[in-house]
Structures are given as C-alpha cells and as structure tokens.
Amino acid sequence: MAFKKTAKNNITKLMTAWSHDFKIMVPTRKNSVIEFGDWDGKDVDFWVWYRNTVVPPKVFLLPVWEEMIRFSKNNHGWGLEVPGSEQKVLIFGVRPCDARGMAIINDVFKDGYPDYYYDIKRRRTVTVGLNCVQPYDSCFCTSMGIDPAMSKDVDVMLIDAGDDFIMEALTDAGAKLLHGEFIRSASAQEVQMARSMASSVTGKIHRKLNTHGLSEKLLDRFSDTELWEEIAAKCLSCGICTFLCPTCFCFEIYDESFKKQGSRYRGWDSCSFKLYTQMPMENPREEKWKRIRQRVCHKFEFHPINTGNFACTGCGRCIRLCPVNWDITQVIAQITGTMDSSLTEPSKNKV
C-alpha cells in the first residue's frame, strides 16, 4: 500500500472528519491515570505526555464487563434481548505492543466457537497505531519480537516524523481512512527518514527477557515445587497483572436476576484468583505457587507450543503496576539462569 502523510497541525481536522463515522477514542488523563477515553473534539495535546495507558485497548473488544442477554418474564413467557451497539469505534494511538496483544487475542477468538460479542466489536473497531518514542523502564517488547517503532497489527500505522505523521494503511478498513483533503502522498525518502528516526527507540529499551529455549526450560522445571514457591512468595494473587495484560483474555459468565428479570453478563476473570479453578469437589490450583506456575507457563510454554506465539508482548504493565514489584523478567532470568541481564540499573536511592 502506498504511504501517505498528514501534517500534525491537521490531525484535529482529520479526526473530526473520521468522527462522522466513528466514535474516536484517544489517550486521556483522568485521576492522573492514562486511559483511552472519548475524544472531546478539540484536544490533541496528548502526545506531549502520552506514553501508554494503564488499561490496554483490548478493553474495547473484551470489556471489563458486558451484558450478553437481558431476560424478563412477560405474559407470553420470557422475553430475551441482546443489548449491543452498532457504533463504530476508532482507537487512536495504539502502541505496537498492545496491537500485537490484540492480534494474539484475535487468534484465540477466531478459532472454534464463534464469539458473537467479540466478533461484533472486532468488526466495528479500527485501530490507528502510533510508534513509541519514550518507552518506560518496564518495557521489554524488543525481547518479545516486537518493534516499538512499527506495527503490522493495526489498521493504520502512524510514524511520528516531526511536523508530519507518515501513515501506512495495513488493512482495507485502514485504507478507507486515508482519504480526503488532509492526506497527501509521502515519498519513499520521507518514509525512510521517518523510519530511521523512529527506530532509535529500540536503543531506549534496556529491559530484556531471554526467550532462547525458554519453553523447554520451563518444561524442565515444571515440577520444581521449591522454585515455584520461591517465585510466588511475594505475589498477592490480585488481578492487576492479568487484567492489564494486553494478551490476557480469561472471562467468567454470570447470571444475575431479581424477581422477573435479569441479565447474563460476561466479565474479566483472572487465573491469579484463588477461586479461578474452584470446582465443587476440589480446587486444583488452591496453592498460590500453582497459579503463578500456570500463569508463567501459559505465557511462555503452553501458548507458544499451541500457537507459535508467546502470550506476552513486553508492554511491562505487569511490572510497572504490580503492588509488590513482582517482575516477570527477573523470574524468567532466574528460571533460565541468566540473572544479570534482566535487571535494570539498580536504584540509586539514598535516604
């Protein structure tokens, strides 16, 4: 597809044009928490402070909670209603790590039983990616095979080129966006320069996770109870790492009703929760170390064996937001015996 460009000054006008067909979601800051929120139609200053959100954009395809069916008793029996919206959504500013996360989740949902709720959201959502310029010290996407300056997992990829954005449409839906008076053609030279500038970001990512032979090593140490107990010791079994992970997709389905009406809901669930595998007779992962082992092995052993992809994009949210600083890169380093390479510069704090 041919490369296009648009002036940064024109972004508001371009997004306004897009907003005729789409609800635009942009990075916003509420309570000092960065999240994708409704675009107010004017402000595009977010790239001054936008690095990445707390809740990844998977939330637009797999919401924290959603109503699946609404049921109520009437004179003729039971009425069923499936709430939903046809509103098209455009997510502006998706980082390559999150875009890959959405692709990984997409892979999971496209096989087997069609998931109606996921599908309608997937069909009506377009993503506009944005290259990273200032990774966090918790980021390690490069170790997971992701280029922070480029993504093929979005509909349109934007690369910051100073006064302009270089734009590449990667899907038909993306190509439809790149029309109109604010879009011009970009020359090969401009594209090359922008890519060159953008690629300097990889030098800013210091955190590494050694994936070499990782699946086999995990298989080796699967039964090492002492190791997993040590690894799991400080984990609190909250849901932060799983909920904020761009590749995690576990959910639970609940029915709530009162008298003659109710709803069936789907909501996020976490394999870190103790009750996740609770069954009437037993709980196979009652102990915390078993849950941690399952989480690590799912991401770095089972999912890769089943699909060829690690279920991790190196976005670093689990490290950045864990209340006790449980760090997957340190854990993997410990398992693979490469302790030194995963630590960042030690804290220089003096009291």
Query: Cβ 50 to other proteins, closest distance in Å?
Result: 11
| CB-nearer residue toward other proteins: 49 or 222 | 49
**Of 212 and 350, CB closest to other proteins:** 350
Instruction: Quote the least distance from Cβ 186 to other proteins, whole Å.
Output: 31
Question: Nearest distance from residue 4's CB to other proteins, in Å?
Answer: 32
Give whichever of 2 and 236 is closer to other proteins, judged by the CB atom: 236
Residue that is written with structure tokens 């010290």 in the block: 137
Q: What is the 3-state secondary structure (H, E, C) of the chain?
A: CCEEEEEHHHHHHHHHHHCCCCEEEEEEEECCEEEEEECCCCCCCHHHHCCCCCCCHHHHCCCCEEEEEEEEEECCEEEEECCCCCCCEEEEEECHHHHHHHHHHHHHHHCCCCCHHHHHHHHCEEEEEECCCCCCCCCCHHHHCCCCCCCCCCCEEEEEECCEEEEEECCHHHHHHCCCCCCEECCHHHHHHHHHHHHHHHHHCCCCCCCCCHHHHHHHCCCCHHHHHHHHCCCCCCCHHHHCCCCCCCEEEEEEEECCEEEEEEEECCCCCHHHHCCCCCCCCCCHHHHHHHHHHHHHHHHHHHHCCCCCCCCCHHHHHCCCCCCHHHHHHHHHCCHHHHCCCCCCCCC
Q: Footprint of other proteins on this chain (CB under 8 A)?
A: 30-33, 35, 51, 54-55, 64-65, 134, 136-138, 230, 233-234, 236-240, 243-244, 252, 254, 256, 265, 267-268, 270, 273, 275, 288, 319-321, 323-327, 329-330, 342-351
Least Å from the CB of residue 160 to other proteins: 18
Tokens 């000054």 belong to: 9
User: Alpha carbon 234 to chain centroid distance?
Assistant: 25
If the CB atoms of residues 6 and 329 are measured against other proteins, the closer one turns out to be 329
CB of residue 210 vs other proteins: minimum separation in angstroms?
A: 15
Inter-axis angle of helices 288-297 and 225-232, to 10 degrees?
Answer: 100
Minimum separation from the CB atom of position 161 to other proteins (A): 23
Instruction: Please report how close the Cβ of residue 64 comes to other proteins at its closest, in angstroms.
Output: 5
The residues with which 264 forms a beta bridge, in sequence order, are 69, 255
- Compare residues 154 and 319 and give the one whose CB is closer to other proteins: 319
Decide if 71 contacts 80 (C-beta within 8 A).
yes
Closest CB 245 distance from other proteins, rounded Å = 12
Identity of the residue, 194 or 244, whose beta carbon is nearer to other proteins in the bound complex: 244
For strands 125-130 and 156-161, give the pairing: parallel
Please, which residue, 42 or 350, has the CB nearer to other proteins?
A: 350
**Which is nearer to other proteins, 184 or 274 (by Cβ)?**
274
Q: How far is the CB of 144 from other proteins (least distance, A)?
A: 17
**Which C-beta is closer to other proteins: that of 7 or that of 236?**
236
